[in-house]
Structure 1
Amino acid sequence: MKRIITLSLLLLVCITIIFNACQSQAELDYARYYVNGKGLYEAHCQNCHGEDGKGLGQLYPPLTDSLFLKRNRTKLGCIIKNGLSGKIEINGQEFDGQMPAETQMTNMEIAQLVTYITNSFGNKNGLYDVNAAAADIKNCDK
């Protein structure tokens, strides 16, 4: 009887592991974009926007305003690619600095970075794939 219970528990654990290991392609894509975006954020953005995305006082805006990121999601790729200068309001606070352009970034890198930013720091906006990034960047106002 003890052996049957042990085997049953082992079988249950195996089934649980197999079930949890099966992710959809969308979940795998999201995870891949997010992880790669985190590395890009650390290399290109974290110095100004901070490890926690809260920015730096009046100098650099936070990336924690979910509403701003959601409303401007189609503009984020352009902002990353071409930089930003002039006044911008985030969380009711005005910033008037200059963000450098990341012209060397590919559409895939921008998609990964936007996926990370829009799903970190309290944000939950889902996958922003390379096709969306390419379309948005193609339509940038220059």
Structure 2
Amino acid sequence: MSWRFVSSIAAFLAILFITACQSDESLEFKRYYSSGALVYQQHCQNCHGTKGEGLSALIPPLSDSTYLRKNILALPCYIKNGLKGQIIISGKTFEDVMPANDLSPVEISQVLTYIGNSFGNKLSTIDEQSVQKNLAGCK
């Protein structure tokens, strides 16, 4: 056997071992996060920016973990039904309208997992069941 073949087999087995040792929660997070990145690019990035920076005084940034954490139950409603009225994020007031999105509960959970773990935020996986429960309570 050639040395390259043996090292290729060893590398393959190492990768297989590493991925097999990941917990179900870790794998679920990675699936939600990576899918959420795509949802964000398609539906949110145009307004909120590639780095979640928002747009001056018109569109709020998505980098305020405190706001996200405090409003975690309402965020699915904001995404699904849009948002009107005044909100304060990082001491700045925003009053522009966020349009409704026709995203499924799983897409909302994916994009919230992405936003909640990007742009300096450190939340956890926001699963589909939580989103469905929160959507049922939307006003």
Structure (1/2) with the larger strand percentage:
1
Q: Deviations over 1:8-38 (max 9, x none)?
A: x99x977754442221111111111111110
Match of 1:69 in 2: 68
In our comparison, the structure showing a higher alpha carbon Rg is: 1
Unpaired stretches in structure 1, ≥5 consecutive residues: 1-6
Distance in 1 between residues matched to 2:95 and 2:106, nearest whole Å: 29
Cα distance between partner residues in 2 of 1:36 and 1:18? 22
Give, in whole Å, the separation in 2 of the partners of 1:42 and 1:133.
20
Tell me the distance in 1 between the aligned counterparts of 2:31 and 2:44: 19
What one-letter code is carried by the residue in structure 1 that aligns with 2:33? Y
Q: How many residues are aligned here?
A: 133
CA distance in 2, matches of 1:90, 1:34: 23
Stretches of structure 2 that go unaligned for 5 or more consecutive residues are: 1-5
Q: Determine the structure 1 residue equivalent to 2:19.
A: 21
Distance in 1, Cα, partners of 2:60 & 2:49: 10
State how far apart, in whole Å, the 1-side matches of 2:16 and 2:97 are: 49
Matches within 5 A, 1:1-142: 17-22=15-20, 23-102=22-101, 104-141=102-139
- Name the CA distance, whole Å, in 2 between partners of 1:137 and 1:17: 39
Runs of 4+ more than 4 Å apart? 12-16
CA distance in 2, matches of 1:13, 1:36: 27
**TM-score (ref. length: structure 1):** 0.86
The RMSD of aligned alpha carbons is: 1.8
